[in-house]
Structure 1
Protein backbone atom coordinates (compact mmCIF):
# COMPACT_ATOMS: atom_id res chain seq x y z
CA UNK A 1 0.00 0.00 0.00
CA UNK A 2 2.83 2.36 0.85
CA UNK A 3 4.45 1.73 -2.53
CA UNK A 4 1.21 2.56 -4.35
CA UNK A 5 0.94 5.80 -2.40
CA UNK A 6 4.53 6.73 -3.27
CA UNK A 7 3.92 5.91 -6.93
CA UNK A 8 0.79 8.07 -7.02
CA UNK A 9 2.57 10.90 -5.23
CA UNK A 10 5.45 10.75 -7.72
CA UNK A 11 3.02 10.74 -10.66
CA UNK A 12 1.25 13.83 -9.38
CA UNK A 13 4.56 15.59 -8.79
CA UNK A 14 5.85 14.82 -12.28
CA UNK A 15 2.53 15.81 -13.89
CA UNK A 16 2.48 19.10 -11.98
CA UNK A 17 6.01 20.06 -13.03
CA UNK A 18 5.37 18.98 -16.62
CA UNK A 19 2.27 21.22 -16.76
CA UNK A 20 4.15 24.15 -15.21
CA UNK A 21 7.01 23.70 -17.68
CA UNK A 22 4.53 23.52 -20.55
CA UNK A 23 2.85 26.76 -19.46
CA UNK A 24 6.21 28.55 -19.11
CA UNK A 25 7.24 27.40 -22.58
CA UNK A 26 3.87 28.44 -24.01
CA UNK A 27 4.21 31.87 -22.42
CA UNK A 28 7.71 32.26 -23.86
CA UNK A 29 6.55 31.09 -27.27
CA UNK A 30 3.67 33.60 -27.37
CA UNK A 31 5.73 36.41 -25.77
CA UNK A 32 3.31 36.72 -22.88
CA UNK A 33 3.47 36.11 -19.16
CA UNK A 34 2.82 32.84 -17.37
CA UNK A 35 -0.40 34.27 -15.94
CA UNK A 36 -1.70 35.28 -19.36
CA UNK A 37 -0.90 31.87 -20.86
CA UNK A 38 -2.54 30.18 -17.89
CA UNK A 39 -5.65 32.33 -18.35
CA UNK A 40 -5.89 31.55 -22.06
CA UNK A 41 -5.54 27.83 -21.53
CA UNK A 42 -7.66 27.34 -18.41
CA UNK A 43 -10.41 29.93 -18.93
CA UNK A 44 -10.78 29.86 -22.71
CA UNK A 45 -9.06 26.81 -24.16
CA UNK A 46 -10.34 24.10 -21.83
CA UNK A 47 -14.02 25.17 -21.92
CA UNK A 48 -13.74 25.46 -25.71
CA UNK A 49 -12.40 21.92 -26.05
CA UNK A 50 -15.07 20.60 -23.68
CA UNK A 51 -17.83 22.34 -25.66
CA UNK A 52 -16.42 20.90 -28.88
CA UNK A 53 -16.35 17.39 -27.43
CA UNK A 54 -19.89 17.79 -26.15
CA UNK A 55 -21.02 18.92 -29.62
CA UNK A 56 -19.34 15.90 -31.21
CA UNK A 57 -21.04 13.60 -28.71
CA UNK A 58 -24.48 15.10 -29.38
CA UNK A 59 -23.89 14.78 -33.12
CA UNK A 60 -22.94 11.13 -32.69
CA UNK A 61 -26.06 10.57 -30.61
CA UNK A 62 -28.25 11.94 -33.42
CA UNK A 63 -26.45 9.82 -36.03
CA UNK A 64 -26.83 6.69 -33.91
CA UNK A 65 -30.51 7.45 -33.41
CA UNK A 66 -31.01 7.72 -37.18
CA UNK A 67 -29.18 4.45 -37.79
CA UNK A 68 -31.29 2.62 -35.21
CA UNK A 69 -34.51 3.81 -36.89
CA UNK A 70 -33.52 2.19 -40.21
Structure 2
Protein backbone atom coordinates (compact mmCIF):
# COMPACT_ATOMS: atom_id res chain seq x y z
CA UNK A 1 0.00 0.00 0.00
CA UNK A 2 1.49 3.31 -1.09
CA UNK A 3 0.55 6.12 1.27
CA UNK A 4 1.29 9.63 0.03
CA UNK A 5 2.09 11.99 2.85
CA UNK A 6 1.29 15.64 2.32
CA UNK A 7 3.49 18.45 3.53
CA UNK A 8 2.14 19.93 6.75
CA UNK A 9 3.53 21.42 9.95
CA UNK A 10 3.82 18.80 12.66
CA UNK A 11 1.73 19.13 15.81
CA UNK A 12 3.77 16.56 17.71
CA UNK A 13 7.37 17.03 16.51
CA UNK A 14 7.86 20.75 16.94
CA UNK A 15 10.23 23.17 18.58
CA UNK A 16 8.78 26.43 17.24
CA UNK A 17 6.09 25.98 14.63
CA UNK A 18 6.62 22.40 13.45
CA UNK A 19 8.02 23.35 10.05
CA UNK A 20 11.15 21.19 10.21
CA UNK A 21 9.26 18.37 11.93
CA UNK A 22 6.69 18.43 9.14
CA UNK A 23 9.35 18.37 6.42
CA UNK A 24 11.06 15.45 8.17
CA UNK A 25 7.76 13.54 8.45
CA UNK A 26 6.94 14.17 4.79
CA UNK A 27 10.18 12.63 3.55
CA UNK A 28 10.66 10.06 6.32
CA UNK A 29 13.83 11.73 7.66
CA UNK A 30 15.10 12.25 11.19
CA UNK A 31 13.75 15.61 12.40
CA UNK A 32 16.84 16.40 14.49
CA UNK A 33 19.06 15.91 11.45
CA UNK A 34 16.81 18.17 9.35
CA UNK A 35 17.02 20.90 12.01
CA UNK A 36 20.80 20.64 12.31
CA UNK A 37 21.28 20.77 8.52
CA UNK A 38 18.93 23.77 8.27
CA UNK A 39 20.78 25.70 10.99
CA UNK A 40 24.22 24.88 9.56
CA UNK A 41 23.07 25.88 6.06
CA UNK A 42 21.58 29.10 7.41
CA UNK A 43 24.76 30.06 9.26
CA UNK A 44 27.19 28.99 6.53
CA UNK A 45 25.47 30.71 3.63
CA UNK A 46 24.86 34.43 3.36
CA UNK A 47 22.61 33.72 0.37
CA UNK A 48 20.24 31.58 2.48
CA UNK A 49 18.39 33.81 4.97
CA UNK A 50 17.26 31.04 7.34
CA UNK A 51 14.98 33.04 9.59
CA UNK A 52 13.13 34.66 6.70
CA UNK A 53 12.70 31.33 4.89
CA UNK A 54 11.45 29.69 8.09
CA UNK A 55 8.86 32.45 8.62
CA UNK A 56 7.65 32.12 5.03
CA UNK A 57 7.37 28.33 5.37
CA UNK A 58 5.48 28.84 8.65
CA UNK A 59 2.93 30.96 6.79
CA UNK A 60 2.65 28.75 3.70
CA UNK A 61 2.63 25.22 5.13
CA UNK A 62 -0.69 24.28 6.72
CA UNK A 63 -0.75 22.75 10.19
CA UNK A 64 -1.26 19.00 10.43
CA UNK A 65 -4.95 18.14 10.49
CA UNK A 66 -6.06 21.46 8.97
Instruction: Return the TM-score normalized by structure 2.
Output: 0.39
Q: Which has the higher contact order (CA 8 A, sep 6+)?
A: 2
Greater gyration radius: 1
Which structure is higher in helix share?
A: 1
